[in-house]
Amino acid sequence: MKRRIVLFALVFALAVPVEAAPQPGAAKLKAKIQEKIQERVAERAAERASARAARRAAAIASRRSEAIREAVTVRRVQRRVVERVRQRAAARVAQDRAARISEMASEYQRSRAERNQRQEQRRGELQRQLRAEFGLEFARLNNRDVLARQDEILGINLSPQSLSRAADLGFRAKQRRPLNALGLTIDVLSLPAQTSLEDALSILKDSDPEGTYELNAVFDRSGDAELSDIEPAVLTAAQKGLSFTVGMIDTGVDPEHAALTHADIEQQNFGGSPDTVARDHGTAVASIVASLGRPHLKVADVFSGETGLSDATGIVEALNWMSEQNIGVVNMSLSGPDNGLVRFAIELLIDRGHLIVAAVGNEGPDGAPQYPAAYPDVIGVTAVDAQGEIYDRANRGDYVDVAAPGVEISAASLEGVESYSGTSFATPVVSAYLAPLVTKPDYQQAEQAWGRLKGDVQDMGISGPDQTYGYGLLTMLNSAVAELSN
């Protein structure tokens, strides 16, 4: 009995749970775990705070960057506006100066016809004014008054002996201009004191018969704006069409004009200013070309100087660039006197397969021939109005090859769109017609294009070629020109 009681007690004791005794490292472990948890919580909080700070900083930086971009854009727009205003003001000043020079030149030439003492005195006054105000001077060559740069004679491909002889005569070498594409070197010579251009040219030619010497003759644009009430929409008719390349020897062009947004324009300066100067004339000519397709325009600015006029050296340097660029068709909406240097450069380009398209000038039916249009194998362009009537101020002569619209036609200007009249603005119509046919200097392409042009014009005036319309009128109704705008 006792044995059973003892066994029962032992089983009961084993069945009742006994509280475990505490382990010696448990508290430290628990404390470390809690510490790690708190550190992690703190790190997460710091990370969130840092992220919020970074977002705030990025937002502030973005706002600052946006403000800077806006400020830069505003300044850029302001500078552009200021520059455009400056260009327009300079263009107006140059245009006024060119008009003043033209008036003085016309008066000088008119006075030549009246052989009396008073007119002789007036010519002397005009000569002194031209020298003092514009650095220009009239010289009498081949019974024609030629306006040229004062105190400059041009020597062409002079030998060392020629330069030495000129120096002995009192001429000073001012500048040497190598034109590698044309194989020319131009030496600009300064005159001895108190020597007129006529006398200087005569002295050099007499003392050096083998040398070639020319005046640095002045050239002008062949037309200007007359009205300013045309809506810009008239220029948007031909945003599509053939892609072609035309070289322009003209004033600078405003490449940001709405009429030229689809044109690819590259400009180089060969005038009297350090940079190209956008002016109405070149911008208008470019927009006429652009209205007939999607042109690549290589623009040589030869009118960037303060007088708004060009000269023989600038034109020949521009022709040299056209040769370097392999331009097939060169548009020259300018005119001036016969000049040996310009003539030689033109002949070189034509012999290499370039087509030169030039305005015949606006000197009137009895005006003297204007160059380069009057040189052989240059395509001389005259202007007609909407009814096909010849422009009343257009030159006449056997150097007139073709007519095109050029009277009161709408074209781009620095201030929008204006109406223009002159042979200058008929010339780019013909250039745009020819350019897709002469893609590079190529004599055969040039001959074929000229033949096609003669076949596509509409005979005007008397039957066959004449001194007023040339071979006839090229208009948008002609199949080949319509092909461009399609």
Give me 152's structure tokens.
């400059």
Outline where 156-255 has alpha helix (H): 160-168, 197-207
* Residue reference for tokens 């840092």: 50
Indicate if the pLDDT at residue 26 is higher than 80.
Answer: no
What pLDDT does residue 232 have? 32
Q: Which amino acid is at 201?
A: L
Q: Which of 60-69, 167-176, 250-259, 453-462 has the lowest mean pLDDT?
A: 60-69
Chain-wide mean pLDDT for the chain?
A: 85
pLDDT of residue 17 exceeding 80, the answer is no
Residue among 247, 250, 238 nearest 280 (CA) = 250
Express each pLDDT in 83-114 by its tens digit: 667 667 777 777 778 888 888 888 887 777 76
Q: What is the CATH number of domain 222-485?
A: 3.40.50.200
Instruction: List CB contacts of 17: < 8 A, sequence separation 6 or more.
Output: none
Q: Please, what CATH class does the domain formed by 135-218 belong to?
A: alpha beta
Question: Among 242, 229, 416, which residue's Cα sits nearest to residue 329?
Answer: 242
What average pLDDT does this structure show over 150-167?
Answer: 95
In the 8-state DSSP scheme, what is residue 259?
G
Task: Calculate what percentage of the chain has a pLDDT beyond 70.
Answer: 85
- The answer to whether 483 touches 414, Cβ cutoff 8 Å, is no
CA 54 to chain centre: 50
**Statement: residue 238 has pLDDT above 50:** no
Helix (H, G, I), strand (E, B) or coil at 26: helix
Q: How many CB atoms lie within 10 A of CB 119?
A: 16
The whole-number pLDDT of residue 241 equals 66
In the chain, what percentage of residues exceed pLDDT 90?
58
Q: Is the pLDDT of residue 281 over 60?
A: yes
In one-letter notation, the amino acid at residue 483 is E
Q: In what order do the strands lie in the sheet with 416-421?
A: 224-227, 416-421, 409-413
The answer to whether the Cα torsion of 384, 367, 199, 155 is positive or negative is: positive
The residues facing 244 across adjacent strands are: 295
Q: Which long-range contacts (CB under 8 A, 24 or more apart) does 371-375 make?
A: 371/335, 371/336, 371/337, 371/338, 371/339, 371/342, 371/343, 372/332, 372/335, 372/342, 372/343, 372/346, 373/332, 373/335, 373/399, 374/338, 374/399, 375/343, 375/346, 375/347, 375/399
pLDDT digits (tens, 9 = 90+) for 327-352: 999 999 999 999 999 999 999 999 99
Higher pLDDT, 114 or 246: 246
Q: Compute the chain's Rg from CA coordinates.
A: 39
- 């030869």: which residue's tokens? 302
